[in-house]
Amino acid sequence: MSVRVGVLGATGAVGQRLIQLLEPHPDFEIAALTASESSAGRTYRDAAEWRVDSPIPGDVADVTVGATDPESVPDDVDLLFSSLPSNVGERVEPAFAEAGHVVSSNSSNARLADDVPLVIPEVNHGHLDLIEVQRDERGWDGALVKNPNCSTITMVPTLAALDRFGLEKVTVSTLQAVSGAGYSGVTSTEIIDNVLPHIGGEEEKLETESRKLLGEFDGAEVEWHGMDVAASCNRVPTLDGHLENVWTETEESVAANEAEDALRETPGLDLHSSPERLIRVFEDPNRPQPRLDRNIDGGQGIAVGPVQETTDGLQYDCLAHNTIRGAAGASVLNGELLLQEGWV
């Protein structure tokens, strides 16, 4: 029997990806869509300027969009996927959790809150137990769970694989696709024939979320990983797929082939959307490339190029689809984990 779910912020870029992933999902049934006041009361077909690379699913097109408040969502919709702007999510996501809904959110608000699980299922699924702390502290019947930023999701699975060697320092430079800024986030005159060498807030997200994700949960709190992370984030004129150049320093000396073996051995989870092997390592030094590799494993895989030894450690490139693995698909994976673990 399918779980009835809803999408908060259904008309935006990530909301549309969520609908594309959820509509054919074997475990979820879309039962509620919400958006801004200007969209509420309209059919989804009329409210959404659909831009995803497939038609609007027929079962969703004629659904009436509701307002983004708990009174507009039926009580029997247990699980909500949120792609709200962070300033809106900060205000309304706790209200949905207090009303008894479990919220799997892609929004950036509250990711670093002490009692909010920040989860990549294949990396730190045990952090989901922080929900017990959250419910005790806030008195909620529901819950709020976050997935990290798209650039963080691209890199952290690779760091998790290498942490067996004792990560001490990570430096990353990102080349991030324009879709990460939303439909109107970057104008054509800004990005065509150009690179924007700063993305507001991205460096801080990479530097903090990575440490929380790789931290240790002791049943009461997450002790962040002690590694040092330094990031430089850049917007480049690709449509989808964040490519990142990563340098690591570890306690142990690591050969390139040892690191590649560790990356290849990273398993997926027994979840519908998780790849059998999370990380694919290429031998070709010209890979990964956004156009060639962003859709591996349905956009849920992480692509890594050959690892190189440096004077201080290792260097490699990694790539993920920023609106699937890095956003909507990450929220869906967390929803699958919530269902599997009995939180929904």
Question: Phi/psi at 35 (nearest 5 deg)?
Answer: -160, -160
Return d(Cα 43, Cα 66) in angstroms, integer.
Answer: 9
Q: Which of 150, 225, 318, 321 is catalytic?
A: 150
Q: Which of 127, 242, 318, 321 is catalytic?
A: 242
Cβ(149)–Cβ(322) below 8 Å: no
All residues at 6 or more sequence positions from 187 whose CB lies less than 8 Å from its CB, including other chains = none
> Measured in Å, how far apart are the chain's first and last C-alpha atoms?
13
Give catalytic status of residue 233 as yes or no. no
Cβ(238)–Cβ(292) below 8 Å: no
The amino acid sitting at 318 is C
How many H-runs (helices) and E-runs (strands) does the chain carry? 12, 15
Give catalytic status of residue 242 as yes or no. yes
Q: Which position has the token pair 């549309």? A: 16
Closest CA relative to residue 327, chosen from 170, 60, 107: 107
DSSP state of 63: P
Length of the chain: 344
List residues with catalytic annotation: 150, 242
